[in-house]
Amino acid sequence: MNAPDRQAHEAAVADLLRNVLSFKEASLVIFRRSALIEFKTDLLDEKVSSYEEDGHRSWQIGAFTGHHCHLDLGAVREVLFDAEPVSCQGGRLNYTVWFSGAEDCGNPYRPTAMFSVTLNGPYETDGTPKREIIGQVYTAYDGLRASPLVRGSESFLQARDGLR
């Protein structure tokens, strides 16, 4: 990918990420072999910023003066909106936006998943779905699905019918 194309691609991924980092009750999760790093989206002072130094652009999540990380947004090849049953949600659906690359990143669950934004508590204590919290994921998908990078899994699209 040439430099102008890469810059445009990175900017498009940054826009997608900025959108989903606005989710309430969610986390940015970076999962690798032997490590899981989680940033609560509500606590991020700055969502996505970039700076350039010696011709290299760096994408930063979180404010420079606080907790933050740097992600290679140019390596993202797909943004998948997904809903799968998981044990941490009591076997109920977990709503996740996966940012995947082309290579194995060391995520034991999804090898090409570089990072994700996932809802932390989409259910009330009695198991009732929090429609406002889950709905924000579908609102984001509707606004972003025209991007060639974005797709919704079959289970994500089917789960929407159950919420109506």
Domains contained in the chain, number: 1
The dihedral built from the CA positions of residue 129, 130, 132 and 134, taken in this order, carries a sign that is negative
CATH assignment at residue 94:
3.40.1570.20
Segment 71-81, tens digit of pLDDT: 999 999 999 99
For residue 79, the cross-strand partners are 99, 150
Residue-wise DSSP of 98-118: EEE-SS--S-SSSTTEEEEEE
Residue with tokens 């076997």: 91
What residue numbers bound the domain in which 71 lies? 3-163
Nearest to 39 by CA among 133, 120, 110: 120
Segment 96-135, tens digit of pLDDT: 999 999 999 999 889 999 999 999 989 999 989 999 999 9
| pLDDT for position 117 | 97
The average pLDDT across 4-30 equals 93
**Of the spans 3-7, 88-92, 153-157, which averages the highest pLDDT?**
153-157
Q: Which residues contact 115 (CB under 8 A, 6 or more apart)?
A: 28, 29, 30, 31, 71, 99
In three-state secondary structure terms, 156 is helix
The average pLDDT across 79-86 equals 94
Helix (H) or strand (E) holding 131: helix 131-144
| pLDDT for position 164 | 66
The full length of the chain comes to 164
pTM, entire model: 0.93
Neighbours of 61 (CB within 10 A): 24
- Looking at residue 59, its amino acid is W
Number of H helices, E strands in the chain: 3, 9
